[in-house]
């Protein structure tokens, strides 16, 4: 794996902490499930934004306090759409409704995520899909699991046989980023088998970690959409870098996660657009 790693020992990253995080996420996920409807909520942009904020606020009311209590001394990254490096130390990076835009439009592909980051490297994560009941978990150095069973990335070595994906990280990205996304999708359509363009990033990255998809890239540094999936993919045996092949951490400007046998080919395709 090429995800950048720290040298700090586990320092309490054990089953007890993972269980406490899982329980907090379970409570939050059940609340978000109850708020879900099979039809879209809101028509105007203002109505949609109001629904998104209502989901976030409701979930954070039950999620933040138990996570902070589970890891005294860890700080809280407030803005889920922010990117870039954080100050040294431990931070909770949480997305109370990863795929919130899908949730408020009556779709099923959304989750609750909670990731502990140490010195800009994810070290523990829980991703819960309340509608299916699935749990994706990882602790640095101890592997990744789906509902308690080990995860393993794809064994593919031919990009021409690969199912790959990307998507925008947030509304209102700059035009240059949109052009990079479009150019990269075109090149992957040429060199890969099938390209998925969807949101959120975590829901594609869990497929990479489980070997259902073979690569995911994104021209963004939005932390909350990347940290959980980055750790899951790395702990499932995948390769996590930027699109030029350099080790990735929160300071990275873009992101690539692949099966190891496809990494060089993916970098070759994506690096000219970096």
How many other C-beta atoms are found inside a 10 Å radius of the C-beta of residue 201?
Answer: 29
Is 173 a residue whose pLDDT tops 90? no
Which of the two residues, 170 and 100, has the higher pLDDT score?
100
Q: What is the pLDDT of residues 211-256, one digit of tens each?
A: 999 999 999 889 999 999 999 999 999 999 999 999 999 998 999 9
Determine the Cα–Cα distance for residues 109 and 248; give it in Å rounded to an integer.
26
What pLDDT score was predicted for residue 168? 92
Q: Which residues contact 61 (CB under 8 A, 6 or more apart)?
A: none
What pLDDT score was predicted for residue 11? 64
Long-range Cβ contacts of 179-182 (<8 Å, 24+ apart): 180/219, 180/273, 181/219
What pLDDT score was predicted for residue 14? 84
For residue 198, the SS3 value is: coil
Determine the Cα–Cα distance for residues 146 and 89; give it in Å rounded to an integer.
28
Give exposure, 48-70, as e/b (b: 16+ Cβ within 10 Å).
Answer: beebbeebbebbbebbbebbeeb
Is 4 a residue whose pLDDT tops 80? no
Rg over alpha carbons for the chain, rounded to the nearest Å, is 17
Place of tokens 């099979």: 38
Which of the two residues, 83 and 72, has the higher pLDDT score?
72
Which of the two residues, 152 and 249, has the higher pLDDT score?
152
Compute the average pLDDT of residues 152-165: 98
Is 7 a residue whose pLDDT tops 50? no
| Summary mean pLDDT of the chain | 94
Q: What is the pLDDT of residues 197-209, one digit of tens each?
A: 999 999 999 999 9
What pLDDT score was predicted for residue 231? 98
Compute the average pLDDT of residues 7-28: 83
Is 1 a residue whose pLDDT tops 60? no
Is 194 a residue whose pLDDT tops 70? yes
Determine the Cα–Cα distance for residues 48 and 105; give it in Å rounded to an integer.
9
3-state secondary structure 133-175: CEEEEEECCCCEEECCEECCCCCCCCHHHCEEEECCCCCCCCH
Give exposure, 91-120, as e/b (b: 16+ Cβ within 10 Å).
Answer: bbbbbbbbbbbbbbbeeebbbbbbbbbbbb
Is 79 a residue whose pLDDT tops 80? no
Compute the average pLDDT of residues 55-73: 96
């Amino acid at each position: 794996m090429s995800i950048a790693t720290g040298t700090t020992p586990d320092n309490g990253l054990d089953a007890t902490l993972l269980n406490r995080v899982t329980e907090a996420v379970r409570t939050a996920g059940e609340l978000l499930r109850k708020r879900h409807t099979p039809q879209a909520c809101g028509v105007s942009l203002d109505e949609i934004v109001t629904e998104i904020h209502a989901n976030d606020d409701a979930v954070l009311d039950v999620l933040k306090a138990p996570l902070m209590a589970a890891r005294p001394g860890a700080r809280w990254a407030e803005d889920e759409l922010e990117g870039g490096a954080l100050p040294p130390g431990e931070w909770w990076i949480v997305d109370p409704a990863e795929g919130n835009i899908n949730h408020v439009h009556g779709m099923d592909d959304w989750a609750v995520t909670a990731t502990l980051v140490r010195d800009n490297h994810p070290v523990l994560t829980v991703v819960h899909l309340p509608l299916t009941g699935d749990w994706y978990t990882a602790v640095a150095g101890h592997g990744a699991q789906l509902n308690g069973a080990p995860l393993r990335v794809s064994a593919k070595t031919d990009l021409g046989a690969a199912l790959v994906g990307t998507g925008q990280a947030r509304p209102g990205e700059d035009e240059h980023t949109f052009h990079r996304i479009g150019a990269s999708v075109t090149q992957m359509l040429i060199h890969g088998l099938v390209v998925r363009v969807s949101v959120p990033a975590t829901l594609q990255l869990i497929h990479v970690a489980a070997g259902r998809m073979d690569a995911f890239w994104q021209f963004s540094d939005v932390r909350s959409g990347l940290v959980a999936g980055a750790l899951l993919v790395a702990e499932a045996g995948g390769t996590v870098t930027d699109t030029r092949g350099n080790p990735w951490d929160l300071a990275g400007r873009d992101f690539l996660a692949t099966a190891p046998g496809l990494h060089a080919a993916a970098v070759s395709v994506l690096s000219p657009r970096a």
